[in-house]
Copies of this chain bind each other. A is one copy, B any other.
Amino acid sequence: MKRILIVEDEPNLADGLEMNLTAEGYEVAVAENGNAALELIERMSFDLALVDVMMPGMDGFSLCKKIRKTSHLPIIFLTARSQDEDKIKGLALGGDDYLTKPFNLGELLQRITSIFRRMSWESASETGRKILTFADSELNLETLKATGPGGETFLSHREAMALKFLYERRGQSVSRDMLLDGVWGYRAYPSTRTVDNFILRLRKIFESDPANPTVIKSIRGVGYMLDA
Contacts and interface: CB of A to CB of B under 8 A. Distances in A.
A19 B219 contact: no
Given A12-B89, A142-B173, A220 B156 contact: yes
B89 A97 contact: no
Interface string A10-26: 11111111011001000
A86 B23 contact: no
A216 to B, nearest CB: 13
Given A19-B94, A142-B171, A86 B12 contact: yes
Interface in A173-187: 173, 175, 177-178, 180-181, 186-187
A71 interface: no
A221 B156 contact: yes
A144 to B, nearest CB: 6
Contacts of A95: 105
Copies in the complex: 2
Task: Specify the main secondary structure of chain A where it touches its partner.
Answer: helix
Which range holds the interface residue count of chain A?
Answer: 35 or more
Interface stretch (A36-44, A118-126, A199-207): A118-126
A103 to B, nearest CB: 8
Given A89-B12, A91-B16, A142-B171, A121 B177 contact: yes
Given A14-B90, A19-B94, A114 B225 contact: no
Interface in A85-125: 86-87, 89-98, 101-102, 104-106, 108, 110, 114-115, 117-118, 120-122
A157 interface: yes
A50 to B, nearest CB: 11
